Each structure stands twice: as structure tokens, then as C-alpha cells.
Structure 1
Amino acid sequence: MIGFVEIIDAGRFAPAADGTARYAEQLRVPALSVGTYSLPAGAVDDQSPHAEDEVYHVVSGRGSFTSGGRTAEAGPGTTFFVPAGEDHRFHDVTADMTVLVFFAPAYSGRG
């Protein structure tokens, strides 16, 4: 049985002390992992493609998101799907962002 999962409130989840992006995982089962990604304004998102499909849901903040050669504005309520192996990143972050991240299957590291 899986216990209660706390999704960290955007107001309590802050970037790392050095102002860089930070990821914290809250749930891991073989088929899925869920975490919270924080990007402060002006941050560089240095992701590389993952081996898993991924869904991002922006909880707070503003910026842009590029994946598969397409760029879109990213703000509260925006959701993005990224297939496994596709290059993607947040950029032009103008307000601290908090993003829920869903990996399927569970995140195994950079692919």
C-alpha cells in the first residue's frame, strides 16, 4: 500500500540556496514518479532528455518552455507532455516557478 503523498505547496518550496533549479521527488513506484521542480527567476534549466515520458504542470511562476522545436509560454495551470528522449527545457524564467513533474515509468536518471 502506498501512503499519503505530500505535494509541496509552491509557497514552501524554494530554489536551492545558491539560486539554482532544484528537484525533489515525493513519490516513486515502478510505473510512476512525482516530484516538484523549482526554478528561480533567471535560472538556467540544464536538463537533458530523459528515458521516461514526462508531464509538467506549472503551479506558479512564469517563463517559456521549449520541446520538440516548439516554444510556449509557461504559467500557472499550463501543462506540457514530453515524450521520452525529446530535448526540452524551461527558459526566460521571469518569476520563480514551481512545477509538478510526473515521470512514467519512474524516473531513472538522465537518458
Structure 2
Amino acid sequence: MEIIKGTGVWAHPGEGDSDWVEQLRTSDLSVGTYCIPVGGRDAQSPHRVDEIYVVTAGRAKIVTPDRTAMVGPGAVIFMRAGEEHRFTDVSEDLALLVVFGPAFGSRMPER
């Protein structure tokens, strides 16, 4: 067993508009925290692995080519590999617990 400390906890990004910190990696999955401050910009590209977001703090919109939804604490979002998505209109500092399966970047280099 491993207790992963700090996962999903808000931490003000350093330089830039967002911050991703990977806190666990195995061959089958990776877990980390993604934070975007109020008014920040989400500049991520689609990933080549499946992804689950759990909103632990904050509020924003998540936008895909097919749908837009408001999300807040407790929301769980599944994104298929390759699906374009972006968080916009961050109205409260956003902290997300993120789970990638298999591990982030393990299929091919991320863009």
C-alpha cells in the first residue's frame, strides 16, 4: 500500500497559467494534480491515454468539441484518449486529481 500525499490539493502554479505535478507512476497508470488559478489558461493538448479528472476544489467549465459543462468539487470527468478538452472560465482556483491509464505519456510522446 502507498498513501499518496498532496494529490488533488490546490498549489499555486509557479510560472505560467497552470501546473501539472505527477505524484505516482506505474506501468499501468499515473496519478497527479493539475491546478489552474482563477482566470488562468489551460493550454493542454489531447492525450494519448484515457484520463479521469476528479475536481477537488474550484469551479470552471470543461469544453469538448461536443459538449460544455460546469464543474465543481466532487465532479468526476472521463476523457477518452485523443479527445480534445480544455478547462475555461475558471471562477475559483481549480484543483484536479488526475488519473491516466496507462501512465501519462506511455503510449507515445505527448504533444
TM-score relative to the length of structure 1: 0.88
Change (3 A) 1:64 1:9: closer
* Other-structure match for 2:82: 85
* Other-structure match for 2:96: 99
RMSD: 1.7
Segments of structure 1 that go 5 or more residues without pairing to the other structure are none
Contact 2:18–2:35 (8 Å) recurs in 1: yes
Number of equivalent positions = 108
Q: CA deviation at 1:3?
A: 3.8
Q: CA deviation at 1:95?
A: 0.5
Tell me, yes or no, if structure 1 residue 44 matches structure 2 residue 47. Answer: no
What fraction of aligned residue pairs are identical, expressed as a percent? 43
Q: CA deviation at 1:19?
A: 5.4
Correspondence list, 1:55-70, <5 A: 55-70=52-67
Distance 2:40 2:101 in 1: 26
Distance 1:94 1:40 in 2: 8
* Offset from partner CA, 1:7-48 (integer Å, 9 cap, x none): 3362xx322233520011111001000000000000110111
Tell me, yes or no, if structure 1 residue 33 matches structure 2 residue 25. Answer: no
Distance 1:80 1:35 in 2: 15
Q: Following superposition, which runs of at least 4 residues in structure 1 exceed 4 angstroms of deviation?
A: none
Distance 1:42 1:22 in 2: 14
Contact 1:19–1:40 (8 Å) recurs in 2: no
Distance 1:7 1:32 in 2: 17
Q: Which stretch of the first structure deviates more once superposed, 24-33 or 67-76?
A: 67-76
Segments of structure 2 that go 5 or more residues without pairing to the other structure are none
TM-score relative to the length of structure 2: 0.88
Contact 1:67–1:82 (8 Å) recurs in 2: no
* Other-structure match for 1:110: 110
